[in-house]
Structure 1
Amino acid sequence: MVVSRKETPPNINIYINDTKLQQRDQFKYLGALISSDGRDTTEITSRIAQSKTMFKRMKNILTNPHMLIERRKRVLECYIEPILMYGCETWIVSKQTRGRLEATEMWFLRRMMRIPWTAKKPNDTVLSETKTKRALINKIRKRQATFFGHIMGRERQEHLATTGMFMGRRGRGRLREKTTDGLASWLGMGSTVEMIKMTRKHDVRRGMIAKAMRHGTG
Structure 2
Amino acid sequence: MKTILTNKHISIKTRKRAFQCYIEPDLMYGCEAWTISKQIQDKLETTEIWSLRRMLRIPWTAKKTNERVLNEANKRRSLVRTIRKRQATFLGHVIRRGKLEHLVTTGNLEGKRSRGGQREKITDGLATWLGPGRVTET
Structure 1 residue 116 corresponds to structure 2 residue 59: yes
Matching of residues 102-181 of structure 1 within 5 Å: 102-163=45-106, 164-168=108-112, 170-181=113-124
Q: Is the 8 A contact 2:127 2:135 kept in 1?
A: yes
Structure 1 residue 62 corresponds to structure 2 residue 17: no
TM-score w.r.t. structure 1 length? 0.59
**Could you say what secondary structure the match of 1:138 adopts?**
helix
Change (3 A) 1:160 1:177: closer
Instruction: Find the aligned partners of 1:177 and 1:151 in 2 and give their Cα distance.
Output: 18
Q: Is the 8 A contact 2:5 2:19 kept in 1?
A: yes
**Could you say what secondary structure the match of 1:119 adopts?**
coil
Per-residue CA deviation, residues 130-150 of structure 1 (Å, 9 max, x unaligned), is: 000111100100110111011
Q: How far 1:117 sits from its partner (Å)? A: 1.4
Instruction: Find the aligned partners of 1:93 and 1:159 in 2 and give their Cα distance.
Output: 19
Instruction: Find the aligned partners of 2:18 and 2:2 in 1 and give their Cα distance.
Output: 11
Q: Is the 8 A contact 2:44 2:80 kept in 1?
A: yes
**Could you say what secondary structure the match of 1:171 adopts?**
coil
State the identity as a percent: 58
Q: How far 1:165 sits from its partner (Å)? A: 2.3
Q: Give the AA of the match of 2:79.
A: L
Instruction: Find the aligned partners of 2:105 and 2:27 in 1 and give their Cα distance.
Output: 24
Q: How far 1:171 sits from its partner (Å)? A: 2.9
Query: Which protein has greater RCO, CA pairs closer than 8 Å, 6+ apart?
Result: 2
Instruction: Find the aligned partners of 1:171 and 1:161 in 2 and give their Cα distance.
Output: 16
TM-score w.r.t. structure 2 length? 0.90
Supply the RMSD in Å over aligned alpha carbons: 1.7
**Could you say what secondary structure the match of 2:9 adopts?**
coil
Gaps of 5+ in 2: none
Q: Give the AA of the match of 1:195.
A: V
Per-residue CA deviation, residues 128-173 of structure 1 (Å, 9 max, x unaligned), is: 10000111100100110111011111122211223422302x2333
Instruction: Find the aligned partners of 2:58 and 2:73 in 1 and give their Cα distance.
Output: 12
Instruction: Find the aligned partners of 1:88 and 1:162 in 2 and give their Cα distance.
Output: 13
Q: Is the 8 A contact 2:105 2:121 kept in 1?
A: no
Q: Which runs of 4+ in 1 moved over 6 A?
A: none
Higher strand proportion = 1
